[in-house]
Copies of this chain bind each other. A is one copy, B any other.
Amino acid sequence: MKVGILNITGYGGIELARILNRHPEFKITCVTGRSAAGEHLSTIFPHLSALDLTIKEQLDEEVDIVFSALPHAASAHQLKPYIEKGIKVVDFSADFRLNDQKEYESWYGTNHPLPGHLSKASYGLPELNRDSIKGSSLIANPGCYPTASILALAPAMENSIITEDVIIDAKSGVSGAGRGLSLNTHFSEVNESVKAYSVSGHRHMPEVVQEIGKLNDDVKMKLTFLTHLIPMTRGILVSVYAGIKDSQLEGKSNSINLLRNLYKDYYKQEKFVTVTDQPPTTKQTLGTNQCLIYPTIDIRNNRLIVIACIDNLVKGAAGQAVQNANILFGLPEETGLKDLALYP
């Protein structure tokens, strides 16, 4: 299958190139970049010289699938012709994640470029939406924070064991902020420091509410979602807190085991979600498409705690995109995604 990549020159695009380079069924044949059109890819990224590609203004060849690693708005705009021709599309941006046009426009501060196609898009979190993805050709690849957050909450919410009060405290490495220059990503400012950001509300929050909302009609989640910047390159860890309302778990001596079994059972068929017996570290996911989830209970206060972590550029972006593409073409979901973590 021939692959086109829109904007290979950001971190999402680079990572996609790395993964597809070893994929047995996909071949990158055409790529664009926002700034380096006309240059050979190896001039900008010497470590990608094996791919032997020139960065184009536009995809000028027929391809079987288009991955867009463009920012929001620019992405929908450039994807328009492919969507209209029915070519399979996986979009890394937020443009097709939110079902509600107004919510999109409120959070992203811009008109939606293609509102008429919102209803055709499938939210590309395979563990929850596999069937919908199979039947779609426009996949909204989830945000990095939502991937970890939704997977951490889903078993508890679908099984109705938690209350509506949910707090997610999320920690991300700096690569999540992309390759664009800013004091917020300037080494000497970021290194050896931690801070909260987007304190009045992060754009990834409505995705989490939307997707979790589909799992349980009875609970209208009240989600506080706070993001923090951590001095490391890759990795996201979310710590999820919620009240427990389930009588089966409440106050039982073995409630933590019951909870863990509930989570293990929920994900037992999944190749890319592992429910762990010890709190995980982001390092255990480096370079892999794994989401590690550790559910437990604060026994003193009867609160659920779930810790989940991923590599933000793999399961949080390019790896999940390939997982979605595998589904779109009927390939085994783990094709090209079997790497173990780079450790340490």
A114 nearest CB across to chain B (Å): 28
Annotate A327-340 by CB proximity to B: 1 below 8 A, 0 otherwise. 00000000000111
Using known A-B contacts A46-B278, A169-B169, A224-B305, determine if residue A174 contacts B195 with beta carbons closer than 8 Å.
no
Separation in Å of the A141 CB from the closest CB of chain B? 20
B228 touches A237 (CB 8 A): yes
Q: How far is the CA of A189 from the CA of B301 in the complex (A)?
A: 32
**Residues in B neighbouring A194, C-beta threshold 8 A:** 171, 230, 232, 235, 237, 281-282, 309
Q: Name the distance in Å between A31's Cβ and chain B's nearest Cβ.
A: 14
- Known interface pairs A186-B187, A340-B50; A226-B196 also in contact (CB < 8 Å): no
Listed A/B pairs (9) with beta-carbon separation below 8 Å: A11-B344, A167-B241, A186-B187, A187-B191, A189-B344, A194-B232, A194-B282, A200-B296, A230-B231
Closest B residue, CB atoms, query A256: B200
Say yes or no: A233 contacts B191, CB within 8 Å: yes
CB distance from A194 to the nearest CB of B (A): 5
Q: Verify A201–B343 contact, CB threshold 8 A.
A: no
Residues of B within 8 A of A288 (CB): 47
Residues from chain B with Cβ under 8 Å of A63 in the complex: none
Which residues of A are at the interface with B, using a C-beta cutoff of 8 A? Answer: 11, 14-15, 17-18, 21-22, 45-51, 165, 167, 169, 171, 173-175, 179, 181-183, 185-197, 199-201, 222-224, 226, 228, 230-235, 237, 239, 241, 243, 274, 276, 278-288, 292, 294, 296, 298-301, 303, 305, 307, 309, 338-344
**Residue of B with least CB distance to A296:** B199
Which residue of chain B is the closest to A288 with respect to CB atoms?
B47
Nearest-CB residue, chain B, relative to A229: B281
B191 adjacent to A181 (CB under 8 Å): no
Assembled-state Cα–Cα distance A192/B196 (Å): 18
